[in-house]
Structure 1
Amino acid sequence: MSTDDLDLKEAVRTLLLLLPRVVGRVKRSPIPPELASFALAPRHLSLFAYLQFDGPMPVNELAKRLEVAPATVSLMVGELSRKGMLERREDETDRRRTIVSIAPDRAAAVENWLAASDRAWRVAMEPLTPRERRLFVDTLGAFERELSRE
């Protein structure tokens, strides 16, 4: 083992000390001034990220990706639509489905809110190989799944 390697105990110790700081910084990331009056929370960030990166989508698809009940997403979408953050429209191919998108006049502000984390992840991930990135993403996902089992 080289001096740069971590054994399991030291890796876990390091992550237990690091993760609370990371979460704290993410929670303190400033909401852009143009969004400050909307009482947004970190839980909204994931919803906006899916819509920003993947485009408009049905409520049920958002619920699946966010791993919450469709009713929960419907409530969030209703609240954010009333505030002018999101737009809802009927799906042209299936009128029972509602398609959700970021309101065009809020898209730049949402992109600005996501930008700091996007930049930080790009800087952190750029030196890694694609295989190392996959390992990191899979490991973080496994950690989250294990926490949710408890």
Structure 2
Amino acid sequence: MNALPEREAVGTLLRHVLDLLDGDVAKVYAELGLTDYRPRHSPVVRALLADGPMPIRDLARRVGVTHSAASQTVAQMHRAGLVDLSPGADARQRVVSLTAQARDLLPVIEAEWAATSAAMRELDAELSMPLSDLLTEIAGALRRRPFRERIADAGLTVPETTGG
């Protein structure tokens, strides 16, 4: 087993935890025969099921990721045959919808969602507070006062950059 990153290497530790969680979910998908399905697809599928077809920009907002991240995920899902793309209201817009192939996979995907949610509740019971609560609290604190400001307040002076 790999050693844990140093406690002070918080970004590395967060990525390590995400790799542990997503890695095992990806293994479950593979064991279920969902070889082209990734953990990052689930929020997109859930949003499209709840709200129907939508432009990538709206999907990004709904899922809580950047437009670029949503575009990359949608492109990956399109290559896997899980979503269709159609022109939107203007030439720049692409509307995303689930394919029949994705809808056929829903019973397996929904069973995995339910099992993953139950596993997360079990993990949360072992923690001092639920992981999602802690992450939400962290995100709120960083929105109120960005980490960059906290670094500067700790005494690191960074020279101003000029556009060039």
TM-score (norm 2): 0.52
* Alignment match of 1:62 (pick from 59, 62, 66): 59
Q: Which residue of structure 2 aligns with residue 128 of structure 1? A: none
Q: Which residue of structure 1 aligns with residue 157 of structure 2? A: none
How does 1:14-93 map onto structure 2 within 5 Å? 29-30=28-29, 32-33=32-33, 35-36=34-35, 38=36, 40-91=37-88, 93=89
Instruction: Kindly indicate which of the two structures has a greater share of residues assigned to helix.
Output: 1
Unaligned residue ranges in structure 2 (runs of 5+): 1-20, 119-129, 148-164
Aligned with 1:42: secondary structure? coil
Number of residue equivalences: 113
Farther-moved stretch of structure 1 (93-102 vs 62-71): 93-102
What's the CA shift string for 1:70-126, capped at 9, x where partnerless?
A: 0111111112212212110012x334311101111221203421234348869xxxx
Cα distance, 1:43–1:120 mapped onto 2, change above 3 Å: closer
Higher Cα Rg: structure 1 or 2? 2
CA contact (8 A) 2:87 2:95 kept: yes
Measured in 2, the distance between the counterparts of 1:29 and 1:54 equals 27
Unaligned residue ranges in structure 1 (runs of 5+): 1-22, 123-138
* Identity rate, percent: 24
* Alignment match of 1:101 (pick from 97, 100, 110): 97
Higher RCO (CA-CA < 8 Å; seq separation 6+): 1
Structure 1 position 146 matched with structure 2 position 143? no
CA contact (8 A) 1:49 1:114 kept: no
Cα distance, 1:81–1:30 mapped onto 2, change above 3 Å: closer
What's the CA shift string for 1:117-146, capped at 9, x where partnerless?
A: 348869xxxxxxxxxxxxxxxx98654321
